[in-house]
Amino acid sequence: MIELDSVTKRYGDKTSVDRLSLTIPDNAITILLGPSGCGKTTTLKMINRLIEPTDGDIRIDGHSVYGMDPIDLRRSIGYVIQEVGLFPHFTVEGNIGVVPSLLDWDRGRIRRRAGELLELVNLDPSVYLRRYPRELSGGERQRVGVARALAADPRVLLMDEPFGAIDPINRRSLQDFFLRLQTDLKRTVVFVTHDIGEAVKLGDHIAIMRDGRLVQMDVTRALLEHPADAFVEELLGATRSTEQLLLYRAAHYVDTAFTVMTTEEMHRSGVEAEAPLIILKDGDDISGYVEKGLLVTCEDPQEAVCRFETVSGNATLLEAVTTLLESGRKRAVVQGPDGTILGTLSVPMVAEIMAKVAR
Amino acid sequence: MNAFQYLGRNWPGVSAKIAQHLGMVGVAVAASLVVGLALGIVVSRPRLQKVGRAIIGITGAAQAVPSVAVIALMFVYTGIGPRTAVIALSIYGVVPILFNVSSALLLVPADIREAARGMGMTPLQVLVRVELPLASQSIMAGLRTAVTIDVSTATVASVVGAGGLGDIIFIGLSVVRPDMIMAGTLLVASIAILSDVLLAFIQRSVVSRGLSIPS
Amino acid sequence: MVGTFIAGYGAEMLRRTLQHISMVGLALVLAASIGVSLGVAISGHDRVARWVVGAASVLFTVPSLALFALLVVALAPIRQGTGRVPAVTALTLYSILPIVRNTWVALRQVDPSTVQAAQGMGMTPSQVMLRVKLPLALPLIMAGVRNAAVMGVGMATIAALIGGGGLGYFIFEGIARANRSMVIAGTMMITLLGLAVNGGLLLAEEAMTPGKRRRGEHGG
Ligand SMILES: Nc1ncnc2c1ncn2[C@@H]1O[C@H](COP(=O)(O)OP(=O)(O)OP(=O)(O)O)[C@@H](O)[C@H]1O
Ligand SMILES: [Mg+2]
């Protein structure tokens, strides 16, 4: 646990961080979010003492960082910064080995550790260990940057817009990758960004700052649903409802009014107009569905059978909507991991859900 | 008689001149390197950056001062002898080295230094492991310039009685002995070229491959 | 003391200063014509270019006194062994390197899309060179010319030793006669000349760089 206790940083008569008190929980990602110049970087750098505060205290697990040697403190904390970070004159191995070598590990151990970490970040050690940063793509550099921060197995990671300089597609895949990594590693991460999408996607908790002060800190979903004031609401802004689509799992919002029958049963039974949506399932094979009320208007029942998309129950609402919009189909059938039919989703239904949470 | 015959017959004397020449250049370059490097490091510290920029301006302009002028000026103070030459060469050699060291160190991006600090390097470790390696290309280039200039200027320093290979050329010129002129010329030219090739080789091995610009 | 020297030798100083400047200037004009033409000729032929620039760099490391002396010997058969001919020849040879190297580098740095645009407008290769590439390369070429000029001022001093005249006379003659004022006066002049040439050409270079800041010199 990292506690910031009424921390203040002043430059001359400009107050960059103003009596900031914040508790950063263990083993989770806490996002510092806010407009440019609100003091996010300053706050982060005070945690590893690259900047000394004017006032206040910072404690890690109850011990004040001001009681520690700053050099030792920094070696025990992983630090990832935007873009540069990597030392151009070191190979990938040299870069990952910086902190271990400062801690006097022997060469064999450093090499093994570098190989291990490269595998962890999905880069083949036999290819990448001997490369120099200029021989890497932007995304590969960021992965190496993350690997380097993890080198000495720090419990705390400080990340200052680590994916900021990357194109949107690569940023997305780095975020996914980092999330998977964190699921295994469970580090205490303080992550600075001013990209709201990134914050919502990665953050277990989000702390919103403005003019050096804390405006609101909460669990991500709670913060989205209950913005503390107009500023937060505006900051979350138009992206808010779309971002929520990212958070909500399809399984929880499906339309459960449906019946399942085989094609043969349908032909035989002659369905009534009032019957709910019918999903046609022959064995394991779902062949289509019939909208409520459609059948009565059809001469040949088979013509009323609509094709559809399938979506996993673990998918987010955003993925479900995207799938539907891209395919042009009206409905998606949502299935559980074992293939059971959980229900269906349509674009108008999602719009309704969004309208509800936006209230 | 040709240059090679001259060299063959006068080898003991010639080799003494070579030794003098190399000695003069060696001592001067070593002194310039120590002073230039130390001063360059000091003036590139963040707190002294104003001084650093002033130094870059001064040394940049000072490179336009001809080396002979420094020898001549030194002669006025210390008279005839190798000492004059060594002091003059040392002073003159500081200029390109100091210029290159301080400009390269000041060019090290602030965020790279901060990344190094953020990972727990002491100030000395930041200097030795990050700043100097990043500046190594430029430092070596400054050193090469200083060596080339010193080998050349040491030849002229013969006129202030410094000895060295200039003696052979000057005597050759004054008594009109083409073989001596050629012999002296050949030797200094070889020293100049070989030392530069050697330094180019060292430069290659010292400078990280990660820094070289692919051409 | 130095003052009395200058008072007494004022006319002589002026004469030798002019001599010095004309020697450097002549070599510079020659080197610029040769260097820029050579740079243009080798641009686009990378391997040849590397050889030419490499050879010029090797020549550049040869100590100036050695090159002067070499030319004295080489030019003796045509009775030009001393005086201005070997001096100007040596200065020209030295000055070619910075100019040819900078010309070549500058031409290489011209944005290919700019060149394509020019070609697309129907310019012939020589028009592209004269109207587009060379103007864009000019600032860097000027930096090479400045390097050459500054270096020439220093090397021309040494020409006095082979009868080439110039300001070196005061320095070497002063040393030979142990005449301090003469040495100091010569040193002052040569230093001022070096600084003035550098400063003057620096201004010219900045004036020729439209809108931009000066690019780095490509020194070795
Ligand atoms: N060394 C300094 N001297 C004076 N003011 C500073 C200094 N460092 C930061 N500031 C100011 O403190 C404020 C907070 O800066 P900080 O870098 O923490 O912002 P940030 O939230 O990280 O912004 P961004 O999103 O743009 O990175 C800014 O107004 C900045 O101008
Ligand atoms: Mg910031």
Q: What CATH number is associated with residue B145?
A: 1.10.3720.10
User: Which residues of A lie inside 8 Å of B (Cβ-Cβ)?
Assistant: 45, 48, 50, 71-76, 79, 81, 84-85, 87-91, 98-99, 102, 132-135
* Residue B176: half-sphere exposure toward Cβ, Cα within 13 Å: 3
Give me the tens of pLDDT residue by residue for chain C, a chain 220 residues long.
667 777 777 888 899 999 999 999 999 999 999 999 999 999 888 899 999 999 988 988 999 999 988 888 888 777 766 778 889 999 999 999 999 999 999 999 888 888 888 888 888 888 889 888 998 899 899 999 999 999 999 999 998 888 888 899 999 999 988 888 899 999 999 999 999 999 999 998 888 776 554 444 443 3
Cα–Cα distance between B139 and B208 in angstroms, integer? 13
Residue range of the domain that includes B168: 11-211
**A95, B145, B174, C15 from B68: Cα distances, Å:** 47, 16, 20, 20
- How much is the pLDDT for C210? 66
H-state helical runs in chain C: 2-42, 46-61, 64-75, 84-109, 112-120, 125-127, 134-159, 168-176, 180-207
Looking at the domain assignment, is residue B51 inside a domain? yes
- Residues in C closer than 8 angstroms to B75, CB to CB, are 175, 183
Looking at the domain assignment, is residue B108 inside a domain? yes
Q: Is B65 left (phi over 0), alpha (psi -120 to 50) or beta?
A: beta
Contact A244, A224 (CB under 8 A): yes
Whether B128 and chain A come into contact, CB under 8 Å, resolves to no
- Name the closest residue on chain B to residue C66, using Cα atoms: B185
- Name the closest residue on chain B to residue C153, using Cα atoms: B66
Which among A50, A49, A60, A52 is positioned nearest to A22, based on CA atoms? A60
Burial class (CB in 10 A: 0-12, 13-18, 19+), C22: middle
- Residues in B closer than 8 angstroms to C67, CB to CB, are 185
Burial class (CB in 10 A: 0-12, 13-18, 19+), A109: exposed
- Residues in B closer than 8 angstroms to C194, CB to CB, are 64-66, 69
Percent of chain A with pLDDT over 90: 40
Across the interface, do A84 and B210 touch by the CB < 8 Å criterion? Answer: no
DSSP secondary structure code for residue B126 in this structure: I
* A31 pLDDT more than 90: yes
Whether B12 and chain A come into contact, CB under 8 Å, resolves to no
Which of A100-114, A160-174, A200-214, C147-161 is predicted least confidently?
A: A160-174
Q: In terms of residues, how long is chain C? A: 220
Across the interface, do A133 and B211 touch by the CB < 8 Å criterion? Answer: no
Q: B44: distance to nearest CA of chain A, Å?
A: 19
Residue A159's SS3 state is strand
- How much is the pLDDT for A14? 92
The pLDDT of A334-353, averaged and rounded, is: 82
- Residues in A closer than 8 angstroms to B115, CB to CB, are 79, 81, 84-85, 87
H or E element: which one contains B29?
helix B11-43
Q: Which atom of ligand 1 is nearest to the CA of A194?
A: 25
Across the interface, do C186 and B72 touch by the CB < 8 Å criterion? Answer: yes
Contacts of A103 (CB under 8 A, 6+ apart): A75, A152
Across the interface, do B188 and C157 touch by the CB < 8 Å criterion? Answer: no
DSSP secondary structure code for residue A255 in this structure: B
Q: What's the gap in Å between A31 CA and the centre of ligand 2?
A: 13
Q: What's the gap in Å between C1 CA and the centre of ligand 1?
A: 61
Whether B117 and chain A come into contact, CB under 8 Å, resolves to yes
**What residue ranges in chain B does DSSP mark as E strands?**
none
- Residues in A closer than 8 angstroms to B113, CB to CB, are none
- How much is the pLDDT for A357? 62
Helix axes C46-61, C2-42, angle to 10 degrees: 160
- How much is the pLDDT for A243? 62
pLDDT digits (tens, 9 = 90+) for A303-326: 667 778 888 777 778 888 888 888
- Scan for tokens 């999905």, then name that residue: A122
- How much is the pLDDT for A311? 83
Backbone angles phi, psi at B46, to 5 degrees: -50, -40
Q: Which atom of ligand 1 is nearest to the CA of A192?
A: 22
Looking at the domain assignment, is residue B147 inside a domain? yes
* B138 pLDDT more than 80: yes
Tokens found for residue A178: 């980092």
* A247 pLDDT more than 60: yes
Looking at the domain assignment, is residue B1 inside a domain? no
Q: What's the gap in Å between A17 CA and the centre of ligand 1?
A: 9
Interface test with B, best of A87, A92, A99 (most B CBs within 10 A): A87
Q: What's the gap in Å between C146 CA and the centre of ligand 2?
A: 43
Looking at the domain assignment, is residue B176 inside a domain? yes
Give the residues surrounding ligand 1 with Cβ less than 6 Å away: A 11, 14, 16, 36-42, 194
Q: What does the mean pLDDT of chain B come to?
A: 92
- Nearest CB to B73 within list C63, C187, C197: C187
Looking at all shown ligands, the one closest to residue A194's CA atom is 1
Backbone angles phi, psi at A338, to 5 degrees: -90, 5
Grade residue A225 by pLDDT with cuts at 50, 70 and 90.
Answer: confident
pLDDT digits (tens, 9 = 90+) for A106-149: 999 999 999 999 988 889 999 999 999 999 988 888 889 989 99
Grade residue A284 by pLDDT with cuts at 50, 70 and 90.
Answer: confident
- How much is the pLDDT for A353? 74
Across the interface, do B119 and A79 touch by the CB < 8 Å criterion? Answer: yes
Q: What does the mean pLDDT of chain A come to?
A: 84
* B71 pLDDT more than 80: yes
Looking at the domain assignment, is residue B2 inside a domain? no
Q: What's the gap in Å between A161 CA and the centre of ligand 2?
A: 7
The pLDDT of B50-59, averaged and rounded, is: 92
* Residue C154: half-sphere exposure toward Cβ, Cα within 13 Å: 28
The pLDDT of A71-83, averaged and rounded, is: 87
* DSSP secondary structure string for all residues of A66-121: GGS-HHHHHHTEEEEESSTTS-TTS-HHHHHTHHHHHTT--HHHHHHHHHHHHHHT
Looking at the domain assignment, is residue B3 inside a domain? no
* Residue A132: half-sphere exposure toward Cβ, Cα within 13 Å: 13
**A239, B204, C41, C105, C107 from C46: Cα distances, Å:** 53, 22, 11, 11, 12
Tokens found for residue C81: 């062994």
**A70, B36, B37, B142, C161 from B29: Cα distances, Å:** 39, 10, 12, 11, 26
Tokens found for residue A246: 């990212």
The number of domains in chain B is 1
* A8 pLDDT more than 90: yes
* B173 pLDDT more than 60: yes
pLDDT digits (tens, 9 = 90+) for A90-114: 999 999 999 999 999 999 999 999 9
Q: What's the gap in Å between A166 CA and the centre of ligand 1?
A: 22
Which residues sit opposite A64 in a β-bridge? A59
Cα–Cα distance between A96 and A78 in angstroms, integer? 11
- How much is the pLDDT for A124? 93
Backbone angles phi, psi at A186, to 5 degrees: 50, 60
- Over its C-alpha atoms, chain B yields an Rg (Å, rounded) of 20
Residue B45's SS3 state is coil
Answer with the residue of higher pLDDT: A9 or A296: A9
Across the interface, do B210 and A133 touch by the CB < 8 Å criterion? Answer: yes
Across the interface, do B66 and C153 touch by the CB < 8 Å criterion? Answer: yes
- Name the closest residue on chain B to residue C76, using Cα atoms: B178
Which of A16-30, A202-216, A256-270 is predicted least confidently?
A: A256-270
- How much is the pLDDT for C80? 66
- Name the closest residue on chain C to residue B154, using Cα atoms: C63
- Name the closest residue on chain A to residue B207, using Cα atoms: A89
Q: Do strands A14-24 and A2-11 pair parallel, antiparallel, or not at all (unpaired)?
A: antiparallel
